[in-house]
Structure 1
Amino acid sequence: MSANGTADIFPGHVESYYAASANTTSAYPSLETTVDADVCIIGAGYTGLSSALHLAERGYKVVVLEAERVGWGASGRNGGHVGVGQRRGQDDLEHMFGLDTARQLWDMGVAAVGLVEDLISRHGIQCDLKRGIMHLAAKRSHDADLEQEAALLRQRYGYEQIQYIGRDQARSLVGSERYYGAQLDSGSLHLHPLNFALGLADSAASAGVEFYEYSRVTGYRGGSPCRVETAKGQVNAKNVILACNGYLGRLEPRLAGKIMPINNFVLATEPLSEALAKELIGNDYALQDTLFVINYWKLSGDNRLIFGGGENYTSRYPQDVRSFVRKYMLRVYPQLAGTRIDFGWGGTLAITLNRMPHIGRLEPNVYYAQGYSGHGVPTATFAGKVIAEAVAGTEERFDVLAQIPTPTFPGGTLLRWPGLVAGMLYYGLKDKLGS
């Protein structure tokens, strides 16, 4: 046990509540030889794990290469929200792509949440699964938007699991005076993200997937077969799936300019009393607000508040992550000023310019998915299944996602950082001003 009374950290993972409460510490070997496979997947986050599991269930021989540990990146460190839809609202999608494509994207967004729930049920994954997300209006002007969106989803898309509630009812469910109204979405979920990832890996390994940890890919080439190289080994495969997301680095220049890696930060409090937990979140939903740099939070399985707030756009984390996030938490819940913070951690995610996922094919047998823009738990899991379908020759859903345009960041990988920082500072200022 550690000094704060929590379990020891999962070896090889960053210090976080999730790593301290991981169900398993299963380890996989490093790649030190040459192996052959039908499919080589680079990255053991949700995209890679879902692809691996679904391909193995179809009878493919699958090898997964992970630079660190399974679930080490954003898949094991995020807020655990599993929301329906896409990162952009349906009204935006209708204007961007037309009603037909917007409907297809909505249906796939709902199916993504259903897939997560089905995988958890079918494989018996213990990951503190709970139902419901509450979307809170941080400004008066945002309140009308939430009400209109809820009406749109119910009337045009037939989504009956969402309802708008006003200020008084919202404040009866959330122990904070900051919010003006809310959407209650009973069709969405929340969970322990690392245990979900580890459960997928266990199921994939049982289905025959070969995992190799600490096996950073140094380069690859397409062809027939494709060749994927690490420092000590090589995989020859009929197909390659790039599932690196925010950790792509310089591996594939054709993809790097389409995404921007950014860092987001989370804390976990000490376990709270039942009374205090009920005061903070009366219905045990996950919560998120409407700010551009959003705050998001939930209760863990042992009644800790898991709170995400703040981000930065450099390669470095704040010196004291707990203090960095705590100030955001206290703006929402000043009554927690005396509450102990047991964990603080960060993770790298990838955003796209239009906040839509970037999914497609570079060559006939080289697939990729990235840029989930903070909506990764359902979207990445679904993308993994859709890529598995495409490898197996069923491309209808893959083609819908692959046709979504993904603009390159201005200046590519060299100049994207200054532009992003300027944009984020602008929207961050808007968060602080006005109503």
Structure 2
Amino acid sequence: MNLLFSNDQRGTYPDSWYAAVTPPLPPFPVQKGEMRADVCVVGGGYTGLSAALHLAEAGLDVVLVEAHRVGFGASGRNGGQLGSGQRQDQVTLEKMVGRDAARVMWDLGQDAKALVRDLAARHGIDCDLREGIAWAGSASGSVNSLHAYAAHMARNYDYPLEALTPEEFAALCPSPLYKGGIVDRGAGHLNPLKLAKGLAQAAQAAGARIFERSLVLDITDGAHPVVKTESGRITADHVVLACNGYLGRLNRRVAARVMPINNFVVATEPLGARAAEVLTQDVAVSDDRFVVNYFRLSPDNRLLFGGGESYGYRFPSDIRATVRKPMTEVFPALRDVAIDYAWGGTLAITLKRLPHLERVAPNILSASGYSGHGVGNAVQAGKLMAEAIRGQSAGFDAFAALPSPAFPGGPRLRTPLLTLAMTWYAMRDRLGI
């Protein structure tokens, strides 16, 4: 079974709120016949589109092939949160890789946010970019940890995070579940599909040749790798693997370290004045649960709420019911609110919850496994691979040096093992442990 076709109709976007409000792009052509390029990029999400854009701007001949439509995968379906740093916080990173390397990761994370903002401004991408993400604690211990983290970031990174008391957090987010938290005004949120389509237009304008509905079947490495699609072949000097959760069997070494999981989002009916029961400021929120709840208000005052995960190939039959459960735990007063849109998406995680960047052959580079932090990470990874191909590999090498072990159990057992572990952590969330 191929995740590319397990839950979606070929060549169509999911029935998401993003797809409903984002102006459509005319389809790019199907790749056919024999082609030659300096670089072939496999995957039309943030990573691939950013790589294609930066390579084309540098004067290279770039072909990008996408199995569905640009922005079809996680890039066009995610929660839209442009977070600071990396998926792991700085305290965890310092313990994992040391203070010096953690500082490098922080600076790269700051660069990633700046890159997204710069690309949106430079290419006129109207992606509803707004400032601010709040981190919510559902227990006093979590709130204390968040406040301690704010103090750590101010002291060691000169980075301001607002520490909110229970009363201050309730004034921002009137949920009975949360007991306080922090606000990161340097982070942001946006419409992810608008960003993806804008990057595609920018890459095409820079000279990249983009092909959709062009499934890659095989990649043959060598001095001039060959990318075989269903109806043609591209011979290139370099290949960029930008497939994330949809890599499949194109590279088994990367697949052993990057595991696809599914996450789900709903959009309610417009809430009107009731939007103040969710948020009183235009910020996004993520909470402290192991299976994270994340939410924000849309420009038309819908609640966009993400919650729940699955680890097999198929989405649940009733995504609305799957997400309504955590949504009403966070906002019990919204039990009667209609859900207008519900969709799922496949992202990819790593064992350490850090991006996996690797040179899998001398002229084949891969980036994936953003673990829910991909809006900034993925756009940046595309740029870093473009720079590495041009001989400037410092940023790419910094990520490639991060620990990235394979998941235990191999291809057959890793999903059952992860499901067992995630079920345990979900139970801890419910019990408040």
**TM-score for both structures, normalised by structure 1:** 0.96
Match for residue 165 of structure 2? 166
Per the alignment, residue 238 of structure 1 pairs with 237
Paired position in structure 1 for 2:128: 128
Give yes or no for contact 1:265–1:345 (8 Å, CA) kept in 2. yes
Structure-2 separation of matches of 1:22 and 1:434: 39
Partner of 2:372: 374
| Aligned counterparts of 1:201 and 1:278: Cα–Cα separation in 2 | 36
For 1:338 and 1:254, locate their aligned partners in 2 and report how far apart those are by CA, in whole Å.
47
Task: Give deviations 1:127-160, integer Å, cap 9, x for gaps.
Answer: 1111100000022211111011111111101112
Give the drift of 1:407. 0.6
Tell me what 1:6 maps to: none
User: For residue 412 of structure 2, what is the aligned residue in structure 1?
Assistant: 414
Contact 2:219 2:226 in 1 (8 A): yes
* Partner of residue 92, structure 2: 92
1:153 aligns with 2:159: no
What is the distance in 1 between the residues matched to 2:324 and 2:25?
29
Does the CA contact (< 8 Å) of 1:167 and 1:179 recur in 2?
Answer: yes
> Per-residue deviation at 1:25?
2.6
Distance across 2 between alignment mates of 1:365 and 1:282: 50
Q: Alpha-carbon deviations, 1:272-300, whole Å to 9, x = none?
A: 21x22233111110011000001000111
Matched letter for residue 319 of structure 1:
S
Query: What letter corresponds to residue 245 of structure 2 in structure 1?
Result: G
Q: What residue number does 1:322 align with?
A: 320
1:395 pairs, out of 383, 393, 396, with 393
Report matched runs for 1:34-183 at 5 Å: 34-160=34-160, 162-183=161-182
Identical residues among aligned pairs (%): 48
Deviates more, 1:10-19 or 1:197-206: 10-19
Match of 1:302 among 300, 315, 322: 300
Asked whether the 8 Å contact 1:353–1:406 carries over to 2, the reply is yes
1:282 and 2:280 are equivalent in the alignment: yes
The one-character-per-residue Cα deviations of 1:166-218 (angstroms, maximum 9, x if unpaired) are: 11000011121111111110000100001100000011011111111110100
Q: Mean Cα displacement is larger for which, 314-323 or 69-78?
A: 314-323
TM-aligned CA deviation for residue 338 of structure 1: 1.9
> Counterpart in 2 of 1:193?
192
* Aligned-pair CA distance for 1:23: 2.1
CA RMSD of aligned residues (A): 1.3
- Is 1:215 aligned to residue 214 of structure 2? yes
**Greater shift after overlay, 230-239 or 333-342?**
333-342
Contact 1:278 1:284 in 2 (8 A): no
Distance apart, 1:360 and its partner CA: 1.6
Do 1:10 and 1:25's aligned partners in 2 also have CA atoms closer than 8 Å? Answer: no
Distance 1:352 1:399, change over 3 A: same
2:10–2:68: 8 Å Cα contact kept in structure 1? no
Q: Partners of 1:278 and 1:236 in 2: how far apart?
A: 55
Moved more, 173-182 or 38-47: 173-182
- Cα deviation 1:333-386 (Å, max 9, x = unaligned): 112122111000000011111101100201111000011000011100111111
Provide the C-alpha distance between the structure 2 equivalents of 1:308 and 1:353, rounded to a whole number of angstroms.
22
Structure 1 residue 434 displacement after superposition: 3.2
The answer for unaligned runs of 5 or more in structure 1 is 1-8
Distance 1:407 1:399 in 2: 17
SS of the residue corresponding to residue 257 of structure 1 reads: helix
User: 2 CA distance for matches of 1:11 and 1:421?
Assistant: 30
1:11 deviates by 7.0
Matches within 5 A, 1:221-260: 221-260=220-259
Residue-pair matches, total = 425
Runs of 4+ in 1 over 3 A off after TM superposition: none
